[in-house]
Structure 1
Amino acid sequence: MNYKIKKFSELENSELYQILELRCEVFVVEQNCAYNDVDNKDQDAYHLLLEDNKKIIAGLRILKKGVSYDQISIGRVVVSKEHRGLGIAKEMMLKAIEFIENDLNEKEIKISAQAYLIDFYKSIGFVEVSQVYLEDDIPHIDMLYKK
């Protein structure tokens, strides 16, 4: 398995297609949630990808300050159904945090987490900073990481 981080402009067409396909499979089909995943935030994001035999099996995006929040943000964290339960999401989050701290010199990260994942994000160092709210009919909560 191979991790890579790329700006949008560095993505190959096949990589972009696989990212959108995976996010659609999980966030739209599997979670039965009709929403617009293509939100014009990908173009100015860093994309952390995990490939296995040239197939993207997991990914996330890192959004600059001011795009979603005043802080840098991590979002669209996704792992293919066949690769869940292997610790990939945690490993990806830790790699993203390391990149944000070391390469982007940022100390705070804000996320909108699905509420059922609160304990997962707490285990990485995030704390709750809002009440639970509905986003696309799915309970979410804002969480903050500070180095």
Structure 2
Amino acid sequence: MNVAGTELTARQLYDILRLRAEVFVVEQQCVYQDLDGQDLLATTRHFWLGGVDCYLRVLSGPDGVHRIGRVVTAKQARGQGLAAKLMGEAVAFIGDDDSVLAAQTYAQDLYTRFGYVAEGDEYFEDGISHITMWRRVARPR
């Protein structure tokens, strides 16, 4: 599924937020403000599979750079290639624009398969090691 933030139903949003809370807040024990005002924007695209077993969102910045975030797979759905399938859909949606993501360091290999390159130093966010990864494909204007 690929839906703009303004097109989400209440049920879809509920299922997305439930999955994000189950994995990020409960499983990974990251107490953070997940509701950041981005989910319902017309420029935010939500991608998911199944009954929201795997999810990610793409934010479109005013600078033309897209940000992939909230990549998450339910515990019972891991190991089936769902995150890779969604990443493929997100990269196809982004096309020839630059994009960036904050990868949990253990997942770098997933993003490398789609042309993302680590830039900068590892850092800790919510107690989990991350690294910024860019896919720079846009031609200078």
TM-score, normalised with respect to structure 2: 0.90
User: Which residue of the other structure, out of 13, 18, 23, is the alignment partner of 1:21?
Assistant: 18
Q: How does 1:42-61 map to 2 (within 5 A)?
A: 42-44=39-41, 45-51=44-50, 55-61=51-57
What is the alpha-carbon root mean square deviation over aligned residues? Answer: 1.4
Matched residue SS, 1:131: strand
Cα distance in 2 for partners of 1:118, 1:88 equals 16
Cα distance in 2 for partners of 1:23, 1:47 equals 13
Amino acid at match of 1:135: E
Gaps of 5+ in 1: none
Q: How many residues in Structure 1 have an aligned counterpart in Structure 2?
A: 135
Cα distance in 2 for partners of 1:90, 1:18 equals 20
Residue 102 of structure 2 is matched in structure 1 by: 112
Residue 128 of structure 2 is matched in structure 1 by: 138
CA contact (8 A) 2:117 2:134 kept: yes
Residue 63 of structure 1 is matched in structure 2 by: 59
TM-score, normalised with respect to structure 1: 0.86
Gaps of 5+ in 2: none
Amino acid at match of 1:76: R
Residue 82 of structure 2 is matched in structure 1 by: 88
Cα distance in 1 for partners of 2:70, 2:29 equals 16
**Deviation at residue 15 of structure 1 after TM alignment:** 0.5
Q: Deviations over 1:87-125 (max 9, x none)?
A: 110110011000111xxxx42110011111112211221
CA contact (8 A) 2:120 2:131 kept: yes
Matched residue SS, 2:11: helix
Percent of paired sites with the same residue:
39
Matched residue SS, 1:49: strand
Structure 1 moving runs of 4+ over 3 Å: none
